[in-house]
């Protein structure tokens, strides 16, 4: 095995997104591209399970993920589950594959951004009455997020327009409806480029923009 | 005649037996009865024969000498007399005592007994005052020569007014109300003292009665055997029907041949070596529970007759054999003669019993050891898993004892090897516990973390060639990736992951993943449920994409790395030969990979896992690839 051939093999796989399998978490999460590749890998490996209609718990999804990345942490899977289950996540609640898939995508891909949004939300809701039920003023929330995005150059984030659209729908927004909006947004999904549209994820085929035809 | 039930003695002189207060009849002990004062040779052989100082009148009649008692009604100061009882006088009996009761003005209420000179001359040495309704010992006027005195069946509460009777040999106070032994200090010649059926609670004040031969204290309330140690001539001691709880303190009673302790509460007998002449010992109806409490009897070389009936000890199955075995000189047990055969059989039976007991205690000890070890293994497992709720079994008994440090256990049951606790895994390495490795078809792991067992998998089949099944209980298997490790066992028919202590069994897909990952095993049963074709097909459907994607995404070198050395060489040589044959260059990565994959498929022996599947490895150290590659980011 000649070194230059080894390296060329490696980089071509990177561009295809097939370099993240059986690597450790530090590698898999280090760049947005790796994250997206991993989400895609997860989808490809387990879409047959989705096809079969089995509903699984967060722990089981985590076990499946760990078959691909042995030290993948549970808290990301747990946060993804909370998006779907609206924070009432009892650990044994069952979720459908495609619901989990899209929630996992945004939670993993935008984990820093979503964490920051949560901080903002909590600081906003600390003042008002019952934030859980009613949420916070969408407009205020949106402004805060916009500010954060423009000031923060370290972490990647979804386009502001999409966020605007999601939060513009209602007067008040709870955090989980906001997250759900992000998870279900086709635009965001397309911009990540790993998965096909939500309705089509169970069909066979490749989907996503950065892939070679099989 | 009076009824026996009322504990009265029948009047008919023929019946000459002793009754103690329970009314039980002891035919051999012919002491005396109402109406007769009889001395059978059998009861007092030595008394009659070897006491040259005793009066000749006593030795006259060889069988019985009777004194006919004449019960009289009596009131103080009134003299009444009745004649001999009609039809009950036996020939040879002496005429009844006729006495005169009087009272002295200087001692009011105290009767004085006079005998007419003729009476006295006829029976100078014996006086019968039974059934005279006496409540006080009367003063006996002029009876200094008296040798036998009978006060039976009165209501006397205190022994008094006997001090002048220096020649008294026989004193009978049976069936009175005496509460205390006293007033006997001058009677240094006394040989027979009958104090049965009174209310005596303590043995005392017998200090001067050094010649005492027979002492009868049956039917009292005596709690302790004491103050008898000076009675070195005592031969017969009757303490039946008292409240003794133990029989010891026999020092000094060197002449004792018969000891009656029936119907007490005796649990322990000791110091029998102080009774070198003891021939007969009666312990019927006491509370002797085992031979241990009467072990000192084994030391006696004189004991010929023993009665233990009515004791809890007799319920033991080999009671008789133990006693016969231990008491070599014994001739009669519980009124039955011991035969030669019985004696021979006895020691055999006793040995057998002892061995059985030893086996039993050994078995029990082993059981306890096992229980403790497994319990400790469980405790450790729970600590590791920090599960607090299941500590019901490992109770806080605290009975750790010598087994405190042992927290593993190994056992073989027919064809199953069971290991409890992580240290037991050593048994898989050395040849210690398992003798016949060829016969082991099942191995059962309990309370052992899965990750500890994994290193042993590759050698398992080598060590146990007949292995068919494995069971993992409380193995902390929590993730599907751990199941990948089972592949290194290479071959298995049965696999059980018990729901207890294995959270992975909560996943709905675990069995299918197992079937997919270990498809080359052709497992027959998982958790005792048959594996059906449907299951296998479903497993393939669910997870085949996982394998395919993996294969697609691995590069050639990584694929080759998955193969064992031998096969890798095979595949590479096959590729080279293809390259040569077809005269094409396999420089392109994709083509090379295709060649490798097809070569591997062709040359794969049956029962080996597919390349796609073997990519799913049990996570160990980080592969060097990712370390290297991470440098490029």
Q: B543 in contact with A at a CB cutoff of 8 Å?
A: yes
Q: A1 in contact with B at a CB cutoff of 8 Å?
A: yes
CA distance B92 to B589: 141
- ipTM of the prediction: 0.87
Identify the burial level of B404 via C-beta atoms within 10 angstroms of its C-beta, where 0-12 means exposed, 13-18 middle and 19 or more buried: exposed
Chain B contact probe: residue of A2, A4, A7, A9 with most B CBs at under 10 A: A9
pLDDT at position B430, please? 65
pTM: 0.61
Token reading at A14? 């990177």
Q: A54 in contact with B at a CB cutoff of 8 Å?
A: yes
Instruction: Indicate whether B356 pLDDT > 50.
Output: yes
CA distance A193 to B499: 41
Instruction: Indicate whether B7 pLDDT > 80.
Output: no
Cβ pair B553:A21 closer than 8 A: yes
Instruction: Indicate whether B4 pLDDT > 50.
Output: no
Instruction: Indicate whether B21 pLDDT > 70.
Output: no
Instruction: Indicate whether B593 pLDDT > 50.
Output: yes
DSSP state of B396: T
CA distance B598 to B633: 33
Residue with the bigger pLDDT between B35 and B60: it is B60
Please, which pLDDT band fits residue B399 given cuts at 50, 70 and 90?
A: very low
Cα distances (Å, whole numbers) of residue B255 to B59, B187, B211, B247, B569: 23, 20, 11, 17, 104
Q: B615 in contact with A at a CB cutoff of 8 Å?
A: yes
pLDDT at position B604, please? 75
Q: How far is A17 from chain B (nearest CA, A)?
A: 9
CA distance B102 to B105: 10
Q: B506 in contact with A at a CB cutoff of 8 Å?
A: yes
Cβ pair B542:A59 closer than 8 A: no
Residue with the bigger pLDDT between B197 and B586: it is B197
Please, which pLDDT band fits residue B621 given cuts at 50, 70 and 90?
A: very low
Closest A-chain CA to B481: A67
Per-residue pLDDT averaged across B284-311, rounded? Answer: 91
CA distance B629 to B587: 22
Give the pLDDT confidence of B41-75 residue by residue, as tens digits. Answer: 333 333 332 233 333 333 333 333 333 333 333 33
The sign of the dihedral angle between the CA atoms of B505, B507, B509, B510 is negative
Q: B585 in contact with A at a CB cutoff of 8 Å?
A: no
Residues of chain A below pLDDT 50: 208-214
A79-83, B89-93, B229-233, B328-332: which range is least confident on average?
B89-93
Q: How far is A15 from chain B (nearest CA, A)?
A: 12
What's the 3-state SS for B228-270?
CCCCCCCCEEECCCCCCCEECCCCCCCCCCEEECCCCCCCEEC
Q: How far is A60 from chain B (nearest CA, A)?
A: 6
Q: How far is B359 from chain A (nearest CA, A)?
A: 52
Q: How far is B504 from chain A (nearest CA, A)?
A: 8
Give the pLDDT confidence of B469-524 residue by residue, as tens digits. Answer: 999 999 999 999 999 999 888 889 999 999 999 999 999 999 999 999 998 888 99
Token reading at B203? 């043995």
Give the pLDDT confidence of B114-140 residue by residue, as tens digits. Answer: 888 888 888 888 888 888 888 889 888
Cβ pair A52:B541 closer than 8 A: yes
Residues B209/B190, Cβ–Cβ less than 8 Å:
yes
pLDDT at position A13, please? 85
């Amino acid at each position: 095995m000649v070194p230059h051939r080894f390296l060329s093999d490696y980089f071509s796989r990177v561009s295809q997104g097939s370099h993240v399998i059986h690597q450790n978490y530090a590698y898999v999460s280090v760049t947005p591209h790796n994250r997206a590749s991993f989400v895609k890998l997860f989808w490809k490996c387990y879409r047959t399970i989705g096809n079969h209609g089995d509903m699984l718990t967060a722990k089981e999804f985590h076990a499946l993920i760990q078959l691909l990345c042995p030290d993948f942490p549970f808290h990301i899977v747990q946060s993804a589950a909370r998006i779907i289950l609206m924070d009432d996540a009892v650990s044994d609640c069952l979720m459908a594959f495609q619901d989990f898939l899209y929630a996992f995508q945004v939670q993993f891909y935008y984990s820093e951004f979503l964490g920051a949004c949560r901080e903002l939300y909590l600081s906003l809701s600390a003042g008002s009455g019952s934030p859980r039920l009613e949420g916070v003023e969408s407009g205020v929330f949106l402004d805060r997020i916009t500010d954060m995005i423009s000031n923060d150059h370290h972490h990647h984030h979804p386009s502001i327009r999409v966020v605007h659209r999601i939060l513009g729908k209602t007067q008040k927004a709870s955090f989980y409806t906001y997250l759900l909006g992000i998870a279900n947004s086709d635009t965001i999904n397309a911009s990540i480029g790993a998965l096909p549209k939500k309705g089509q994820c169970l069909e066979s085929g490749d989907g996503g923009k950065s892939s070679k035809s099989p | 005649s009076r009824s026996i039930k009322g504990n009265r003695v029948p009047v008919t002189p023929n019946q000459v037996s002793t009754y103690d207060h329970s009314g039980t009849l002891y035919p051999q002990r012919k002491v005396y009865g109402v109406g007769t004062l009889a001395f059978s040779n059998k009861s007092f052989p030595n008394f009659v024969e070897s006491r040259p100082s005793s009066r000749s009148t006593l030795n006259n009649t060889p069988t019985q000498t009777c004194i006919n008692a004449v019960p009289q009604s009596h009131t103080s100061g009134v003299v009444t007399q009745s004649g001999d009882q009609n039809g009950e006088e036996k020939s040879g009996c002496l005429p009844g005592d006729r006495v005169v009761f009087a009272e002295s003005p200087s001692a009011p209420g105290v009767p004085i007994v006079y005998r007419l000179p003729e009476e006295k001359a006829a029976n100078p040495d014996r006086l019968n005052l039974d059934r005279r309704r006496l409540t006080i010992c009367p003063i006996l006027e002029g009876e200094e020569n008296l040798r036998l005195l009978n006060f039976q069946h009165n209501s006397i509460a205190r022994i008094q007014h006997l001090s002048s009777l220096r020649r008294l040999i026989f004193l009978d106070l049976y069936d009175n109300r005496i509460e205390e032994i006293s007033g006997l200090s001058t009677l240094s010649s006394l040989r027979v003292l009958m104090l049965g059926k009174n209310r005596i609670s303590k043995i005392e004040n017998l200090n001067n009665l050094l010649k005492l031969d027979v002492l009868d204290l049956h039917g009292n309330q005596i709690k302790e055997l004491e103050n008898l140690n000076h009675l070195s001539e005592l031969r017969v001691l009757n303490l039946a029907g008292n409240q003794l709880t133990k029989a010891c303190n026999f020092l000094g009673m060197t002449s004792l041949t018969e000891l009656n302790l029936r119907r007490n509460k005796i649990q322990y007998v000791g110091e029998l070596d102080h009774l070198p002449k003891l021939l007969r010992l009666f312990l019927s109806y006491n509370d002797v529970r085992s031979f241990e409490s009467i072990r000192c009897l084994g030391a006696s070389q004189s004991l010929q007759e023993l009665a233990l009936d009515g004791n809890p000890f007799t319920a033991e199955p080999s009671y008789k054999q133990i006693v016969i075995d231990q008491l070599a000189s014994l001739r009669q047990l519980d009124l039955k003669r011991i035969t030669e055969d019985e004696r021979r059989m006895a020691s055999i039976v006793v040995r057998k019993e002892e061995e059985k007991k030893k086996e039993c205690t050994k078995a029990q000890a082993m059981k306890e050891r096992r229980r403790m070890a497994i319990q400790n293994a469980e405790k450790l497992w729970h600590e590791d898993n920090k599960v607090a709720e299941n500590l019901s079994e490992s109770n806080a008994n605290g009975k750790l004892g010598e087994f405190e440090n042992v927290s593993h256990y190994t056992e073989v049951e027919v064809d199953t090897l069971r290991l409890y606790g992580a240290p037991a895994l050593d048994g898989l390495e050395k040849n210690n516990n398992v003798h016949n490795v060829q016969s082991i078809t099942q191995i059962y792991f309990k309370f052992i973390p899965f990750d500890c067992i994994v290193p042993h998998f590759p050698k398992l089949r080598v060590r146990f060639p007949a292995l068919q099944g494995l069971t993992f209980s409380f193995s902390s298997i929590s993730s599907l990736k751990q199941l990948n490790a089972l592949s290194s066992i290479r071959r298995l028919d049965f696999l059980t992951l018990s729901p207890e202590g294995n959270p992975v069994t909560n996943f709905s897909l675990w069995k299918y993943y197992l079937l997919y990952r270990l498809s080359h095993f052709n497992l027959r049963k998982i958790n005792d449920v048959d594996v059906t074709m449907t299951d296998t097909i479903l497993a393939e459907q669910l997870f085949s994409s996982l394998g395919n994607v993996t294969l697609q995404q691995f590069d050639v070198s990584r694929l080759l790395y998955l193969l064992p050395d031998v096969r890798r060489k095979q595949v590479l040589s096959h590729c080279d030969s293809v390259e040569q044959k077809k005269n094409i260059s396999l420089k392109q990565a994709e083509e090379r990979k295709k060649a490798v994959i097809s070569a591997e498929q062709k040359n794969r022996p049956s029962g080996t896992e597919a390349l796609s599947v073997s990519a799913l490895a049990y996570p160990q150290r980080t592969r060097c690839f990712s370390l290297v590659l991470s440098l490029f980011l």
